Structure 1
Amino acid sequence: MFGDMMGMLGKLKETQEKVKATKERMNTVILEEQSPDSLLKISITANRTIKSITIDDSLLEDKDQLEDYLILTLNKAIEKATTINETELAAVAKEGMPNIPGMDSFLK
């Protein structure tokens, strides 16, 4: 039993290291999102850090329209980044989980 506990602790530490590495890697995953007419473009990391925003000059003439574009496009970019981030981290965490009967159905 003690050996099993030490093995589980070792697996937990390994999983924590993999999660940390995955979080760091997510900083290098760049996603692009744009408005339907491509007047606004956003680059964001999978860790949800905005890297760049490109605004077409025509949007600078209408403050309300620009604000709407920013909200819609940023929300789409953040949603996409969140999905990738959560999927990657969940895969690493599940990989490091000890084999507990019935846990597979719980994690799905």
Structure 2
Amino acid sequence: MFGDMMNMMGKLKETQKKVEETKKRLDTVLVDESSNDGKLKITLTANRTIKSIEMADELLEDKEQLEDYLILTLNKAIEKATKVNEAELAAVAKEGMPNIPGMDLFK
């Protein structure tokens, strides 16, 4: 029984290390999102750090319109990046979790 606990602890530490490595790797995974008409393009990492914002010059002429574009497009980009982030981290966590009866959280 003690050996099983040591094995589980080792597996958990290994999984924790893989999760940290995955988080670092997600800093290099880029997610692009554009407004429906292509006037605004946002790129962020899967860890939800904004890397670039490109916009048509005409958006600079109307503050309210620019704000609306930014809100809508940023929210879509963050949602997309969050899905990538959660899927990647869940896959690593599921792969490394020991088989503990009743603890099937990632199925």
TM norm. shorter chain > 0.5: yes
- Structure 1 unmatched runs, 5+: none
* 1:86 counterpart letter in structure 2: E
- Which residue of structure 2 aligns with residue 107 of structure 1? 106
Q: Deviations 1:17-63 (Å, cap 9, x if unpaired)?
A: 00000000000000110001110000000000000000110101111
Identical-pair percentage:
75
Q: 1:49 and 1:72 mapped to 2: Cα distance?
A: 17
> Equivalent residue of 1:33, what SS?
strand
* 1:99 counterpart letter in structure 2: N
> Equivalent residue of 1:44, what SS?
strand
- Which residue of structure 2 aligns with residue 57 of structure 1? 57
Alignment TM-score, normalising by the size of structure 1: 0.94
Q: Which runs of 4+ in 1 moved over 2 A?
A: 100-104
> Equivalent residue of 1:36, what SS?
coil
Considering only aligned residues, what root-mean-square deviation do their CA atoms show, in Å?
A: 1.0
Within 5 Å, which residues of 2 pair with 1:18-37? Answer: 18-37=18-37
Instruction: Check if 1:73 corresponds to 2:80.
Output: no
- Structure 2 unmatched runs, 5+: none
